[in-house]
Chain A
Amino acid sequence: MSVRITDLGMMESRMAWMRQGQSRVAAAEQEIATGRRINKPSDNPSESARLMRHDLRLQRVSQFARNNDNAKLWVGTADQALQTGATYLERARTLAVQAGNDTTLGAQEGRAIAADVRSIAQGMMAMANTKISGRAIFAGTADSDGAYDATTLAYAGDDGQVTRALDTDETVVVGYHGPDIFGDANPGDPMNGNVFEMLGALADAIESGDNTQIRAGIEAVDTAMARIGVVQGRVGAASQQLDAAETRQNAEKLNTEEHISKIRDVDIADAVIRLRSAEVSYEATMSATSRALSRSLLDFIR
């Protein structure tokens, strides 16, 4: 059927067209104002699902980067402590060699060297009890004041391993056990015990001028240095792992952010063009409407 055009009908349909035009303009404006193509999940359900997945991953990677920072603090602190320890042992070895070689060493000088070695032992003890915000880093996962008890010279920690997560299934060891660094305690045979017992025994030997024991002590110091060297190697490897992980995390963060931006953010040039075209068609509708509504037979009959 041919449709009769009626005034009310014409007005209603023009108004519907103008409403549509107006809402298209408003939608384009909203995109530009918020900078986002997707403001609600229903704006694009499948893209929103991807958006949420990417967002979760981004948050997790940012967290892994925070874990990485924390791990760096631990590994860096351990590295410094071990370096200090190695220097101490170097010094203890020099003193022991000096005491062993110098046959003219008097009792007083022997006592002085022994005192030096004892203070090195104390330094080692302080280094072994290195803490990060109150927690002893060489004590495993134990809740103890320090890794070693300054009186009994015994290990106060446990053999739990301290690790940090660098990714969904990548971890790095950041806490090293006291016994791995300082050797196992052996109260019955201090020279073959841990570093603290050994340095104590070495000091005793220097004080008493027992050359056999001093020689055994020098060997024990070498063993202790080798032990620290092994752990330093592990720390170095961990440090490299952290650097590699950081590079990867930063790259992934950047990529994920870019993905998210591609899905969610408005291409401004494109959005502005769409706004302009929406505006042009809206204005055209309005102008056509104003002309159509002002025309009537009344204009032509007298």
Chain B
Amino acid sequence: MGNFGGLQVAYTGLNAHHKRIDVISENIANVNTEGYHRQRVELRSIDQASVGLFSGRVGAGGGVDYSQVTRLRNQILSTAARDQANNAATRTRQADLLQRIEDIVGGLDPGGLHDKLTALFNSFDDLANAPEDSAIREVVLRQADNVAQAFTRTTAAIDQLRDQEHASLVDTVRAVNALTEQIAADDVALLSAVNSDAQPNSLLDGRDLKVAKLAKLIDADVVELPNGQTSISVDGQLVVSAGKSTPLTVAVENDPALAPLGYDKIKVVGTTGRELRIASGEVGASLDALANGIPEQRRAIDALIADLADQVNTVHRGGQGADGSTGLDLFRVGINTGELTVSTDVNGHPEKLAAARLGAGAFDDGNARALAQLGESTTGPVTVFSNAVGVLAAKVASATSVADAAQVASEQATSLAQSAGGVSLDQELTDLITAQRAYEASARMITAIDEMLQTLIHSTGRVGA
């Protein structure tokens, strides 16, 4: 080693620790930045044998290599966090949807369907008490109309919920397309950075954050390529590949199974128009709600309506009105099922309410009583409604607890990923102290060598002062 070798070694030390301090200040600056991963300067001593390799940079002698700055990201933990976030988003959307349906159907709320049904069947008893009273007949018709309107409103609200879900699916797919476009743009920038041998850590952080956001929206298969780019596909359809993104679209198609409800099939398609099977993420949850969840609840309400109309009409047809009319329906189910009205035969004609049994006196009350008894029957419309509410409530309760658990799991996975890549101020400060001390020591080394050289240059051969 030559005389100046030590100076060079000390110089690499100075630079290396200067760079460490730079990186530490970068870490501290980003302590609260979403998606930022801690960086670390990888210090490696330069082997004598490899001097030739580094001669261009550090000249002769060992010293320290500080060219590598790594991003501390644990890929397994990050992928796990992404998967858990995807699951949590799916479950939360499912629970939200069921809660909204529960709010629509009601059950325990005063003045809700349950109360209106009970009031209708009680009013049949009032009719039985005074079949001669046309005011009471009018009241019964109003109660029937209340029930009919409430059921019709319920199905209309579910149809509206479906329209909202459709609109929100379109928005979410639009957000997916925006993200894939940005990811593709990041990938292009990344490739040129990698090619020019730069270390694009902040670009990577930004890209990974977008990929994580994408995971909440849609179940995408993400492959990280060795060149730093990503290849993302959804059910086999590439959405990001080699720095190019492909948008997804929402399509509407006629479906014979949903047509009776007045619904269409809503699907997400790729470039070829192929329907993509998307099971999770917000898009997956929306698709599931549109294909299964909402139609199922709508059919349940339709069944309640059909059952109510059928049970009441069967008894009503068997009776006789004050004017002798018979065989009339009280309720009419619309051609578009889900719509319930009081039959025009009876609405506005209170005397046609069949309070009397067939062939009995005009003021007989037997049929009104039979109608009132339906209210308490274990197979009657009120009980059928309560049972349906119970089934829905159980579904909501379990979906909510599943969503809560998924949320906790997601938070834990995120916090694990965060623990690998996040910034700890205490740690950075400790590193700062060691880096600072090392910097000072390197500077001291230079002074020491300088003094040595001074001795050599000025004092060689001199004896005494």
Contact = CB atoms under 8 A, between A and B. Distances in A.
Contact of B362 (A4, A12, A143): A143
B429 A42 contact: no
B186 interface: no
A165 B369 contact: yes
B425 interface: yes
Given A60-B122, A63-B122, A296-B425, A48 B362 contact: no
Contacts of B369: 163, 165
Count chain B CB atoms within 10 A of each CB in A42, A55, A59 and give the residue with the most.
Answer: A42
Nearest to B122: A63
Given A141-B365, A168-B376, A56 B125 contact: no
Given A6-B423, A41-B390, A141-B361, A51 B376 contact: no
Contacts of B416: 3
A168 to B, nearest CB: 6
A9 to B, nearest CB: 4
Interface string B430-463: 1001000000000000000000000000000000
Contacts of A66: 125-126, 129
Contacts of A163: 365, 369
Contacts, number: 177
A22 B11 CA distance: 56
A135 B361 CA distance: 13
B414 A70 contact: no
Given A135-B132, A165-B128, A41 B392 contact: yes
A60 B107 CA distance: 17
B107 A52 contact: yes
A187 interface: no
B202 interface: no
Contacts of B294: none
A244 interface: no
Contact of A60 (B322, B375, B411, B415): B375
A16 B411 contact: yes
Contacts of B121: 60
Given A8-B418, A49-B386, A67 B364 contact: no
B114 interface: yes
Contact of A140 (B119, B361, B382): B361
Contacts of B312: none
B129 A67 contact: yes
Interface string B192-233: 000000000000000000000000000000000000000000
A191 to B, nearest CB: 30
A277 B373 CA distance: 48
B422 A42 contact: no
A151 interface: no
B424 interface: yes
A219 B375 CA distance: 52
Nearest to A59: B118
Interface in A188-242: none
* Chain B interface size, under 10 / 10 to 19 / 20 to 34 / 35 or more: 35 or more
Interface in A128-158: 133-135, 140-143, 157-158
A160 interface: yes
B31 interface: yes
Contacts of A70: 129-130
A64 B118 CA distance: 13
Nearest to B74: A1
A297 interface: yes
Contact of A52 (B32, B108, B362): B108
B390 A160 contact: no
Interface residues of A, number: 55
Count chain A CB atoms within 10 A of each CB in B119, B383, B390, B420 and give the residue with the most.
Answer: B390
Given A52-B107, A56-B375, A59-B118, A143 B386 contact: no
A139 B362 CA distance: 11
B356 interface: yes
B372 interface: yes
B363 interface: yes
Nearest to B133: A133
A9 B364 contact: no
B258 interface: no
Given A9-B419, A66-B126, A143-B361, A48 B108 contact: yes
A297 B389 contact: no
B400 interface: yes
A134 B133 CA distance: 9
B31 A8 contact: yes
A39 interface: yes
A56 B118 contact: yes
B1 interface: no
A41 B107 contact: yes
Nearest to B117: A56
B310 interface: no
Contacts of A60: 118, 121-122, 375-376
B295 to A, nearest CB: 21
A162 B361 CA distance: 10
A140 B131 CA distance: 12
A160 B320 CA distance: 14
Contacts of A12: 411, 414-415, 418
17 contacts: A6-B38, A6-B419, A7-B31, A9-B422, A12-B418, A13-B415, A41-B102, A41-B389, A42-B98, A45-B396, A52-B389, A59-B118, A59-B119, A143-B132, A160-B364, A297-B429, A298-B425
Given A42-B102, A52-B386, 4 more contacts: A12-B414, A41-B107, A60-B376, A135-B132
Interface of A: 3-9, 11-13, 16, 38-46, 48-49, 51-53, 55-57, 59-60, 62-64, 66-67, 70, 133-135, 140-143, 157-158, 160, 162-165, 168, 296-298, 301
